[in-house]
Copies of this chain bind each other. A is one copy, B any other.
Amino acid sequence: MSRAEQQPSAVRPTLEAVAARAGVGRGTVSRVVNGSPKVSAKARAAVEQAIAELGYVPNQAARSLVTSRTDSVALVIPESVARLRSEPYFSDIITGVSGELAETEMQLLLILVRDERERERLTRYLTARRVDGVLLVSVHEDDPLPELLERLEMPAVLGGRRSGEESLSYVHADNGGGARAAVRHLLARGRTAVATITGPLDMEAAEARLAGYRQALAEAGLEPDEGLVAHGDFTERGGRETMRELLERRPELDGVFCASDMTAAGALQALREAGRRVPEDVAVVGFDDSAVARHTEPALTSIRQPTEEMGRLMVQLLLKEIAQPGRFRRQVVLPTELVVRASA
């Protein structure tokens, strides 16, 4: 056995036991454990040896009770099951958040909020201050959670924002710019009747993508046609159904900008059903550049947003906010990028 140095006793050793073994007081052990500089080299060595011999690990509950810190943060995802399952966006966020937290001693709580009951549970949880901070993604305009976070003075960083004048810290992608790039690309390919399938417009991201679409058309001097704007909900099914409506209403359309890749995947299905060839008859651009974009037939031209990096950045901001409560607040917009594949 390679763990000969640790003689695990039946009960976990306490800080007091370490102090006794090292021949010092509790205070000194506590200082060593917490990296205080006010400890002599000799005392530090003795304590470190005792810790190793006893296999001491601090009791977090006792520590929390005194410091009222928990050394954990929550990632809150307020979405229906249906969306989480099919949305690679969340996996990427989780990957980034988890990776960044691994650099620290903080732990990650994952909290999915699907209905009113679960929101109440979360409210209780946050009121009890069982985490030091909160990352909240997929923010809807009327979501009561951001307000709750403010009221509780809980350090928080949003992924996305409620509106243009968001008071909390956030990280989000340049949705408007991405959408403009997408539509410009379609126009540059000679498309003249470019439609869009939006996301849920109670999300600023969806709203911004729609605005970007309109801007790009305006820049090109095209007459706005509201008949070419149809409302989806970021899901595949929504994309399919909305595309059908759109085809019925404007059979002449030759390009579609979809507010998400899943939407675009659905739209491709509807186009295939309708016998339209992609990209020959109708060119399609998605948004997110998620994994699905590479699996559709044809592969999807899409707008890449640095989702994982957004997760990492959210964590960095949150940690700063936790370190300086009430003082630190920052709002970051990350650039997007057009990724051209077969669909447009």
A112 to B108, CA, bound (A): 10
Contact A85–B81 (Cβ < 8 Å): no
How many copies of the polypeptide does the oligomer hold?
A: 2
Q: Which residues of the other chain, B, contact A4 by a CB distance below 8 angstroms?
A: 325-326
| 7 further A-B pairs in the complex, CB-CB below 8 A; given A98-B112, A99-B112 | A57-B127, A60-B130, A61-B64, A61-B70, A81-B99, A94-B110, A102-B117
Contact B91–A58 (Cβ < 8 Å): no
Within 8 A of B (CB), among A52-76: 55, 57-62, 64-65, 68, 70, 72, 75
Q: Which residues of the other chain, B, contact A42 by a CB distance below 8 angstroms?
A: none
Q: Which residues of the other chain, B, contact A117 by a CB distance below 8 angstroms?
A: 102
CB distance from A50 to the nearest CB of B (A): 16
Residue A124 is within 8 A (CB to CB) of chain B in the complex: yes
Contact A61–B65 (Cβ < 8 Å): yes
A81's nearest neighbour on chain B, judged by CB, is B95
Q: Which residues of the other chain, B, contact A192 by a CB distance below 8 angstroms?
A: none
A86-129 CB mask vs B (1 if < 8 Å, else 0) is 10101110110011001001011111101001100100110111
A102 to B113, CA, bound (A): 9
Residue A30 is within 8 A (CB to CB) of chain B in the complex: no
Residue A218 is within 8 A (CB to CB) of chain B in the complex: no
Interface 9-mer from A18-26, A183-191, A220-228, A289-297 = A289-297
